[in-house]
Structure 1
Amino acid sequence: MYREFFWDFDGTLFDTYPGMVKAFITVFKDENIDLDESAVYKRMRQTSLGQTFKYYCDQNGLQDPKKMRELYNPVEEKLEENMHPFVGVKDVLERVVDEGGHNYLMTHRNQSSLEMLDGFDLKKYFKDAVTAEKSFPRKPNPASLNSLVEKYELNPENCVMVGDRVLDIEAAHNAKMSGILFDPDDLIVEPVEPEHRIHQISDIIKWID
């Protein structure tokens, strides 16, 4: 059904949320603020990292979410070595390529995403990538997706965006392509209409054309 797969990184290809939540809680704890791990994770999944910073700063009287984000980044980077791909990721990426399709990385994370892919011998399955360094507007703005569609002269009808949050599906639809929502713990309750909703990455194999 699909030949061109656009992949979100955090929470889709790699199980990065444990490290992200740990780093998030650490920087707030340094401000003598204790947060609930499950609540932080849920808010990250249902909104975004930036919105989660804004929410908890507002709740706790901190005036500068940007400063907290700057403190968070080096803490989170130290935890990257413990992050790993979800079960089934390699098999799906490999199958896409074997069937003549292509994989593209579409992430707000920086070049560390490519380094982590390379560390698990997965980077070779990707034709191209858009990371934070390319400074596109953030999802759900479709500019980053559209740039690759135009670069490789793709038909959006053959394209699909795989992500774990509403903004990934909205970005896909804004780019006139389909969306697969990876929602392993059924946390996404906002109105969103992905073409497919899955609990495990291996489910994607049946939609590879």
Structure 2
Amino acid sequence: MNILWDYDGTLFNTYPAYAKRMSQVLGGQVSEEDCYTELKISASHAISKFQMTPPQIEEYNDLISAISPEEMPPFDHVEEVLKQADCNVIMTHKDQVGAYKVLDYYDFTKYFSEIITADHGFPRKPDPASYKYLHDKHHIDLAIGDRELDIIPAKQLGMYTCLFQNNKPADFHLEDYKDFFKVVFF
């Protein structure tokens, strides 16, 4: 099976660290839980929702880039799925340095045939251009993400979709990767 993965909130549990930094930038006026909820829709959504100013956005981005990999662990059992797949690729809005910092720290880079980041110049999701590129090159069977935004391009291209810890419409749903081979059938 060839799998296209989202990064934040799908492979790595990054949102608690992001929410903590956003709440900090907002002076504690917005709880970490509220930041988390809005970030799970998208970072741009949360920034708009909380009416963050350009200096706040810059501070937030600086804090995000300084987060240590220890605060962004892989989800339990995800490595077992990565090992079983024939081909894994990533499409993330994260910058290349930030993505590789965490992937290398957990020795996950070896599991991926290709990693597309914000630095590759593709339009942001839900535009399907990056997914089409990866699908044409690697013949993707399944796209996994934690947000509806992550699977919209896959649906447009006729791929099977799986949402992780999200019950929006998708072909498959997972709460824990230990159940991957019980839930996803090919």
TM-score, normalization: structure 1? 0.81
- Distance in 1, Cα, partners of 2:174 & 2:137: 29
Residue 179 of structure 1: CA displacement?
A: 0.9
Specify which structure has the bigger relative contact order, considering alpha-carbon pairs within 8 angstroms and separated by 6 or more residues: 1
CA 1:103–1:182 in structure 2 vs 1: closer, same or farther (change >3 Å)? same
1:145-184 matched pairs, under 5 angstroms: 145-152=131-138, 154=139, 159-183=141-165
Provide the residue aligned with 1:110 in structure 2.
95
Q: CA RMSD in A?
A: 1.7
> Is this contact kept in 1: 2:22–2:32, CA < 8 A?
no
Unaligned segments of structure 1, at least 5 residues:
none
* Higher Rg: 1
Q: CA deviation at 1:83?
A: 1.3
Structure 1 runs of 4+ with >6 Å offset: none
- Is 1:75 the counterpart of 2:63? The answer is yes
Kindly tell me the number of residue pairs found equivalent between the two proteins: 183
CA distance 1:37–1:102, change in 2 (3 Å): same
Cα displacement string for residues 53-90 of structure 1 (whole angstroms, at most 9, x for unaligned residues): 01100xxxx5x4x4432221111122233211010011
User: SS at the partner of 2:123?
Assistant: coil
Task: State the partner residue of 2:17.
Answer: 19
Aligned to 1:93: 82
With the length of structure 2 as denominator, give the TM-score of the two structures: 0.91
The CA deviation string for residues 128-168 of structure 1, in whole angstroms up to 9 with x for no partner, is 0110101211111111110112234x2x5xx1111100111
Matched, 1:49 2:43: yes
The question of whether the paired residues in 1 share the 8 Å contact of 2:88 and 2:114 is answered with: yes
What amino acid sits opposite 1:73 in the alignment?
Answer: N
Percent of aligned pairs sharing the same letter: 32
Cα distance in 2 for residues equivalent to 1:118 and 1:205: 26
